[in-house]
Homo-oligomer: A and B are copies of this chain.
Amino acid sequence: MKSHNVAMLGTGLIGDFYTMTLHSQRSRDRVGIVYSRSDERARVFSERWDIPAYTTSIEEAINHDETDTVVVGLPNFLHEEVIVAAADAGKAVLCTKPLARNAEEARRILDKVESAGVFAGYLEDLCYTPKAMKAVETIESGGIGDVTWARSRETHPGPHSAWFWDKEKAGGGAIVDLGCHCIEVIRMFMGKGNRPVEVMAWSDTLVHPIEAEDNAVALIRFESGALGQFEVSWTFRGGLDLRDEIAGTEGTIWLNHFLRTGLEMYTSGSGDRYVAEKIESTEGWIFAVGDEVSEFGYANMFTDMFDAMDQGREPRETFYDGYIVNAVMDAAYRSARSRQWEPVDIEWRGGATGRIEKRAGTHDGHSIVKREILPDGRVKLMLSNKETGEIFDLVTNE
């Protein structure tokens, strides 16, 4: 039974979530050393999670005796540098999202790990939530037919650290922070082989005194004809709104990951307690999930990553996926400026996907537009004359 020893780079909220997950349940993997720029934060973090060593040197963390896997939980502008170092050291590297600040940077990162031949996993946790995985399973089994539309929404009142708000360090605003989740989630529902062709985006800075966008909506047209749609905001009130909706020719899937999950509480505010990340108040009706580690996908994600390493296979989420996500975001930023659809500029490895098929039946040589059962049991057909295109009703006893 193989186990892994992790160097955790970064002690922010995401470092906490990752370490909590790695140490949760009956896991056989452990964080062996933690790095922070700040000695104090590294020490406190190592105590909080019972980690045997801490350091303020990235080199030391990566090359620590027992480290076999480097987990990157640092601000976006530091990803490339540390991934290069980890790859050079021959260590497996798992990087938080987004992979980079733009596709060019992402491409260099991808090339580096591929040429170094090290294992690389893209830590897109929202592709591993139990709900999303069940949805994908349902889609792949044909349960909703061909996907025609997918909406992924992530909005909250804004991130917890200064660097997120800094356009230069982060690579952008809400699109980079939240849109990267949505894009990959949408790709997963569309099918990874369904090429994102072009993007139309709106973004604006409506509320906060920052340069980066605090609100954005984008449409992504896929090769099959299906439409992806993401909505991101740093100005949402009421907590963390994290929802996906998928429409298919044979069904519909709605996922609500945080605000209405069957856990509902009203409190007069008399207690003294932390309920969940990104809850806005500690009084009144409150909504959250029971277990963030499991329901936000962290548990499934690290299991897939380490199992993939042990089995010599690719994980579900790779650096190539991270690169695609960056390319879609680049197109969104271009579109927000050019005010028109912009192509997604990528080296595509995913093959070709056919157009969503129209499967209209025929009746007496006419296409069936719709078929309805009337209250009296008869059938009403709306038919299209194949030659003239005229559409007319026909009620039959069939």
Interface residues of A (CB under 8 A from B): 1, 3, 25-29, 129-135, 137-138, 141-145, 148-149, 151, 155, 157-163, 165-166, 200, 202, 204, 206-211, 215, 217, 219, 221, 225-227, 229, 231, 233, 235-239, 241, 247-258, 260-268, 270-275, 280-281, 283-291, 294-295, 299-300, 302-303, 306, 339-341, 356, 358, 360, 367-370, 372, 375, 380, 382-384, 389-393
Contact = CB atoms under 8 A, between A and B. Distances in A.
B268 A145 contact: yes
A257 B272 CA distance: 25
Copies in the complex: 4
Contacts of A339: 200, 340-341
Contacts of A263: 131, 134-135, 254-255
A108 to B, nearest CB: 26
A136 to B, nearest CB: 11
B290 A271 contact: no
A273 B28 contact: no
Contacts of A143: 265, 267, 270-271, 273
Contact of A166 (B144, B262, B265, B391): B391
Contact of A252 (B133, B265, B275, B281): B265
B356 A206 contact: yes
Contact of A29 (B26, B227, B360): B26
Report, nearest first, the 4 A-B pairs whose CB atoms are least far apart: A130-B290, A284-B284, A143-B271, A238-B266
Given A225-B204, A262-B131, A264-B253, A210 B27 contact: no
Contact of A272 (B141, B148, B238, B370): B141
Given A138-B275, A294-B130, A382 B165 contact: yes
Contacts of A134: 263, 275, 288, 290-291
B392 A237 contact: no
A379 B27 CA distance: 35
Nearest to A305: B26
Contacts of A389: 211
A287 B261 CA distance: 12
Contact of A271 (B28, B250, B274, B306): B250
B264 A262 contact: no
Contacts of A239: 266
A138 B370 contact: no
A391 B162 contact: yes
A104 to B, nearest CB: 23
B251 A268 contact: yes
A210 B133 contact: no
Given A255-B262, A262-B262, A267 B26 contact: no
B271 A138 contact: yes
